[in-house]
Amino acid sequence: MSASAAVHLQGVGRRFGRRWILSSLDLTVQPGETLAIFGNNGTGKTTLLQILATLLSPTRGDITIFGHSLAREKNSIRRLTGYIGHAKQLYNHFTVDEYLELVFRLRHKTTEKMRTRVDQSLDTMGLTAHRQAIIETLSEGMKKRLTFCRLLLCDPRLILLDEPHPTLDAQGKMIFDRLMREWKQNGKTIFIASHEHDQTLAHADRVVIINEGKFTHEVRDRNKYVE
């Protein structure tokens, strides 16, 4: 079962200093599923996503992503996942175009189709008009959209979104909803950690609630959660 699963967690825990941010998580997510993670601040949502994105290693437990072990095949997992976190990871002295070209080159090790892919992603995120702008001069909402451009260029199978809503502007939110539908159609596996329950629930297949480093509730049917 776990072999065919997109993400499989078993007894995953993570400690910072003396505190166990995540104590023991078990979870299986099937390919194409969209999982919403709710929970108060400091309950471990971000930590969980960072672990899945291979930014942190778990203190204990096993994780497999598309059949690759996180402990041993980190590089294969990095090629399959895309992550948008709180840090935007942008080089703010670059122009939008330069940055996306850098991303494309590092990800695909080639310049083939680079132009068309970059143009496409800019078009999708509504940033074509700003392609020559230095990133530093963009508004926060635009910068957030640029991180989505990066995600589109990477074309990952597993998408990890850590609170995507707050910094998105109105236009960004519209594009985001459209993107989510597109991704689901294309069979992407998506994790969203969020406080904006209504906007997230519209997309989620499943909701887990995390509290004190553990999953406390799991709701399969999103209508039930509303109740």
Partner 1 sequence: MFVVFSLIAILFFAFAQYWALAIAPPEKWMGDVYRILFVHVPAAWNALLMLSVSFVASILYLIKRKPFYDRLAASSSEVGVVLTGLTLMLGSIWGKPTWGVWWTWDPRLTTTAILFLLYMGYQILRRLIDDAEQRAKISAALGTMIFLNVPIVYFSVKWWRTLHQLQSSPQTVAPEMVLPLRLNAFAILGLALIFLWMRMRIARLESQKEEQ
Partner 2 sequence: MLSDLITLIQKDFRLIIRSSVHLFSVVLFGVLLLLLFSFSMGGDIDLLRKSAAGLFWITVFFSSTFFLDQSLQYEQKDGRIEGLLLLGVDPKIYYVSKTFSNFLLLILVEFFLLFPLIVLFDVPFSWSMLTVLIMGSFGISALGTAYAGVTTSLVSGNVLLPLLLYPMLIPLLLAGVQATQLCITGDLFNERFMWYSLLAIFDVVFFVAAFLCAPFLFDKSS
- Residues making contact with partner 1 (CB under 8 A): 15-18, 57, 59
Per the structure block, which two tokens stand in for 211? 């509290």
Of 117 and 150, which has the nearer Cβ to partner 2? 150
Which one of partner 1, partner 2, none is in contact with 53 (Cβ closer than 5 to 8 A by kind)? partner 2
Q: Could you give the CA distance from residue 173 to residue 141 in angstroms, rounded to a whole number?
A: 10
Of 83 and 183, which has the nearer Cβ to partner 2? 83
Contact residue for partner 2 among 4, 16, 69, 93 (CB under 8 A): 93
Sheet holding 214-219, edge to edge: 81-84, 158-162, 189-193, 34-38, 206-211, 214-219
Contact residue for partner 2 among 4, 16, 79, 178 (CB under 8 A): 79
Q: What is the pattern of x (binds partner 2, CB under 8 A) and - over residues 2-41?
A: ----------------------------------------
State yes or no: residue 103 binds partner 2 (CB under 8 A): yes
Q: What is the pattern of x (binds partner 2, CB under 8 A) and - over residues 137-166?
A: -------------x---x------------
Instruction: Kindly tell me the burial class for residue 144, based on how many C-beta atoms sit within 10 Å of its own C-beta (0-12, 13-18, 19 or more).
Output: buried
State yes or no: residue 109 binds partner 2 (CB under 8 A): yes
Q: Could you give the CA distance from residue 61 to residue 13 in angstroms, rounded to a whole number?
A: 6
Contact 67, 56 (CB under 8 A): no
Q: Could you give the CA distance from residue 37 to residue 192 in angstroms, rounded to a whole number?
A: 6
Of 22 and 29, which has the nearer Cβ to partner 1? 22
